[in-house]
Structure formats: C-alpha cells, structure tokens
Amino acid sequence: MDEIELIKLLTRDLPGNDRVVVAAGDDCAALKGETSEELLLFKTDAIVEGIHFTAETPPEKIGRKALARCLSDIAAMAGSPTAALVTLALRADFDPARVESIYLGLNKLAREFNVAIVGGETTTNPGGILISISLLGRVESSKITLRSTAKLGDAIFVTGELGGSIDGKHLDFEPRLTQARWLADRFPLNSMIDLSDGLATDLKHVLDASKVGADLLSSAIPISRAARDVKARSANGKTPLSAALSDGEDFELLFTIPSKHAVPLNDTWKKQFPDLKLSCIGKTTETLGLRIRDRNSIHPMAIDGYVHFKKP
C-alpha cells in the first residue's frame, strides 16, 4: 500500500464539526474564527532523517527546511503565518550542539516571517531525527485560495523555475508568502497550490479537485539550471523537461486565474518581482486529464511525482 492509498483509506470518514471550512485534502485546513471575516489556517508537516535530509545536511538548513515547507502551504492558501509548535524526535544519544543549530535555522526563518515559536515537544525516536512542525495562520475569508476551485478557461501560472531541487534548493527555498499575498490582494485567483510533489502531480491535484483538465505548452515550462545540469540528469535518466515536470520540492506556487487577467498580471508582476520568473504554462480544459503540447503534437502526460511507501 503506498501513501496515496493509505491516505484514501484513513480520510474516508474523518470526524468534522461546525468550525470546519476546509477539511483534509488541501494545503492547509481552514477553520472559522470568531467572526466571519477571517479564517484560521492549520497545517502540520514532518521531515525525517534519511528521507528529507541526511546526517550530512547542515543542521541550520534542516531546521529552516522544516518550517519553510509549512510556510509554503500557508502561502498556497494566500494566508499569513502566525505561530508554530515544534516536535523534535531524537535518538537517545543526540548531539546537543546539532539540535541547537537546527533550532537556530528554524528560529531565523520564523523571525523573517514574524512567526512565533510557542512551544512544542522533544521525545526519543530510535530511528533518528524527525521534526514535525504545526503551523497556524490566518486569511481573509474572501481571499482564501483552494485546490478545488479552478475554472474552465483559466490560465495556469507557476512562479520560479522548476526541477532539480535536490541539488540544493530544497534546503534554501524561499516560501512564496509575499508573492501569494500580493497576488490574492490584486487578482481574482481561482485556485492555488504549492509545488511539493512535482508540477505534474500537484497540478493533477488541482485538476482532480476542480473537475477540469489542462493543456500545457512544453516550451513554456520554466526549467531550472539544476534540471538542465547534464551530469545530474544522466544520473537519473530524466530529460530537463521531465525533471521540471516531475521533480519534487520546488515549493513554487502554481495558480490559475481567468485568462483575461493573464497579460495584466504578467506586466505588473515583472515590476513587482523583477527577480522571480512568472510563467503562463497552459490553460484549463473541459476534457479531463493532463496533456502536454510541443511543436509537433499533443499527448497525455505520465504522472511521476514522489510517493512515500512506494513499492520498487
């Protein structure tokens, strides 16, 4: 049983109550606050030694990554983070200096985005370091961006350049909180998600939840320098394009917007964020499924993102 089957099994019949606005299945859960104007965002994410980082990863970067992943999910809902709890599971013979450095990296990023660290827990874990972050945020009810609300005829955009994150970006990426807030304040976004499992997989999440399909233009996919690196590619057998489509941990934003806003968005974005690429990579379609178009043809796209517990 892989992760997707397991999650399907476990989320069949989850308890709810009248506070829930967005339940399991989006980047964050959303709950009613005291008034109807603001929603609470609630997210948890864990990173594990041997999967998301190694014994050689600089500890500051481990702590930074643990929090940055959750911040990226708050960004995907167009929210602002407020406070986090940190659960740290350690071997009994942990190195206090390494643990302190993990915290230094985490706290530095927290200060950058005005996130309070309000507690957490330490416990023993025979298998190695596991860091789980719980993050609270907030968003105006009118501005929250979901996976399930893409519309037919939307233009599909991604920020940044994709693929090859494993070469370093997965430890250094900037959660796109500022960009997400800027977008939600100025443009009628129909849907948004952050790219954690790979463009094709994450876009598929949006399409499935929104009951639309999509055509992508292969020449429009922004391919990172790392994904173009010939040596890295020969190691895993992916072309630069397939790396950009399927590599995980890009932590860029993917969003859809009525196509008439595409040109004005592109123009104002360039002035606001001159150093961060924004690409219109395709459009939503009535025909379900995901297709990619190149000079000569259009063909269905294989989905191959990262899946936990996958049998080899």
Residues 126-155 close enough to bind a second copy by CB under 8 A: 126-128, 130, 132, 134, 136
Q: Which of 15, 56, 237, 295 binds a second copy (CB under 8 A)?
A: 15
Q: Which stretch binds a second copy (CB under 8 A): 118-126, 157-165, 245-253, 258-266?
A: 118-126
Beta-carbon contacts of 217 under 8 Å, excluding residues fewer than 6 positions away, are 281, 282, 292, 293
Region of residue 34 (phi > 0: left; psi between -120 and 50: alpha; otherwise: beta): alpha
Per CB under 8 A, does 75 bind a second copy?
Answer: no
DSSP 8-state code for residue 26: B
With binding defined as CB under 8 A, does residue 118 bind a second copy?
Answer: yes
Contacts with a second copy: how many residues (CB under 8 A)?
Answer: 73
One character per residue 197-216, x = contact with a second copy (rule: CB under 8 A): --------------------
Nearest to 21, CA basis, from 12, 13, 30: 30
In the bound state with a second copy, the residue whose beta carbon lies nearer, of 23 and 263, is 23
Provide the b/e sequence for 186-208 (b: ≥16 CB within 10 Å): ebebbbbbbbbbbbbbbbbbbbe
Scanning residues 233 to 292, which ones bind a second copy (CB under 8 A)? none
Q: According to CB under 8 A, which residues from 157 to 196 bind a second copy?
A: none
Under the criterion CB under 8 A, does residue 307 sit at the interface with a second copy?
A: no
119 binds a second copy (CB under 8 A): yes
What do you get for the CA distance between the two ends of the chain, in Å?
12
The alpha carbon of residue 200 and the mean position of all alpha carbons in its chain are separated, in whole angstroms, by 13
d(CA 130, CA 198): 23
Site for a second copy in 90-109 (CB under 8 A): 90, 92, 94, 96, 99-100, 103, 107
CB neighbours of residue 235 within 10 Å: 9
Residue among 115 and 199 whose Cβ is closer to a second copy: 115
CA distances, 297 to each of 218, 261, 300 (Å):
10, 27, 10
**What's the CA gap between 297 and 277, in Å, rounded?**
26
Residue 54 touches a second copy, criterion: CB under 8 A? no
Residue among 75, 115, 212, 226 that touches a second copy (CB under 8 A)? 115
Q: Which stretch binds a second copy (CB under 8 A): 48-56, 158-166, 185-193, 271-279?
A: 48-56
Task: State which of residues 43, 204, 205, 238 lies at the interface with a second copy (CB under 8 A).
Answer: 43
